[in-house]
Structure 1
Amino acid sequence: MRTLLLILLSLSLVFAQPKEPPKGTRCVVCGMDVNIDPRLTSQVKLKDGMYKYAESPKHILEYYLENKDKVAELWVKDYESGKWIDGTKAYYVVIKEGPMGYDLAPFQSKITAQKFAKRGKIYQLRDITKDFLQHLEMGHIR
Structure 2
Amino acid sequence: MLGKIFVVLFVFALTVFGQPKELLKAERCPVCGMTVNPNDKMLSQVKLKEGSYKFAEGPKHILKFYFENKDKVSEICVRDYQSGKWIDGITAYYVEIQDGPMGPDLAAFSSKMEALKFAKGKKVYSFKDITKDLIDKLDTHHH
Shorter-chain TM range is 0.7 to 0.9
**Cα distance, 1:35–1:59 mapped onto 2, change above 3 Å:** same
Counterpart selection for 2:40 from 38, 41, 66: 38
Moved more, 128-137 or 115-124: 128-137
The equivalences for 1:118-133 within 5 A come to 118-133=120-135
Contact conserved, 2:96 with 2:104, CA < 8 A, in 1? yes
Instruction: Tell me by how many angstroms 1:37 deviates.
Output: 6.5
**Cα distance, 1:13–1:102 mapped onto 2, change above 3 Å:** same
**Which ranges of 4 or more aligned residues in structure 1 deviate by more than 4 Å?**
7-11
The equivalences for 1:1-142 within 5 A come to 10=13, 12-14=15-17, 16-35=18-37, 38-138=40-140
Letter in 2 for 1:102: P
Letter in 2 for 1:89: T
TM-score by length of 1: 0.86
Letter in 2 for 1:73: E
Deviations 1:81-116 (A, max 9, x none): 000000000000000101111000000010000000
Unaligned runs of 5+ in 1: 1-6
Instruction: Tell me by how many angstroms 1:67 deviates.
Output: 1.0
Instruction: Tell me by how many angstroms 1:44 deviates.
Output: 0.4
Letter in 2 for 1:119: G
Q: Provide the residue aligned with 2:6 in structure 1.
A: none
Unaligned runs of 5+ in 2: 1-8
**Cα distance in 2 between the residues matched to 1:27 and 1:138:** 16
**Cα distance in 2 between the residues matched to 1:39 and 1:89:** 19
Contact conserved, 1:89 with 1:125, CA < 8 A, in 2? yes
**Cα distance in 2 between the residues matched to 1:55 and 1:22:** 14
Instruction: Tell me by how many angstroms 1:18 deviates.
Output: 0.6
Q: CA RMSD in A?
A: 1.9
Instruction: Tell me by how many angstroms 1:27 deviates.
Output: 0.5
Contact conserved, 2:22 with 2:38, CA < 8 A, in 1? no
Contact conserved, 2:29 with 2:56, CA < 8 A, in 1? yes
Q: Percent identity?
A: 58
**Cα distance in 2 between the residues matched to 1:85 and 1:50:** 18
